[in-house]
Structure 1
Amino acid sequence: MKVRYRVIHQRKSAIAALLSGRGYTDWYIAQRKRLFGWAPLGTYPSLEEAEAACDQHAGGKLLPGGGHVVAEFVRLDED
């Protein structure tokens, strides 16, 4: 089974950003698929930095052809 990676974009209010110790309201979370969910690799201020973290951790490219996952959904009746 191949290890999967993803980058999540989060937009917070200015107050929430300051309370979390960040001076910016948009950030990207690089994550790696684990057996029981997703494990964070880090939080970054730009998409390029988050993708680079996934590339470095994977030792390869994220998706063939330069594709990007832009949205991920979960069913509301599942936990």
Structure 2
Amino acid sequence: MNFPHKAPRLAGLAAIALALALAGPSPALAKLDPGGAAVVETATTSPACPLARIGAQLVHCDSLTGAGVRAPAWVPER
């Protein structure tokens, strides 16, 4: 019986595996931040629109907030 050589097949599989490995994402390179003046904006809240509750729901400026969690009793009711 005459068996074909497996070397060409293995070389082809190795080449495909290498190509797939190199085609993947490479690690990110980080640069040192030189620093400098950074602009920092402060968050402001509107005093005309305080946090309140309606029943057990937190409300801020006619918008339900709190993701459905029950509002604590110390929050004033609207």
Which TM bucket (shorter chain)? under 0.3
Q: Which has the higher strand share?
A: 1
Q: Which has the higher helix share?
A: 1
User: Larger relative contact order (C-alpha < 8 A, sep ≥ 6)?
Assistant: 1
- TM-score, L = length of structure 2: 0.19
- TM-score, L = length of structure 1: 0.18
Indicate the structure (1 or 2) with the bigger Cα radius of gyration: 2
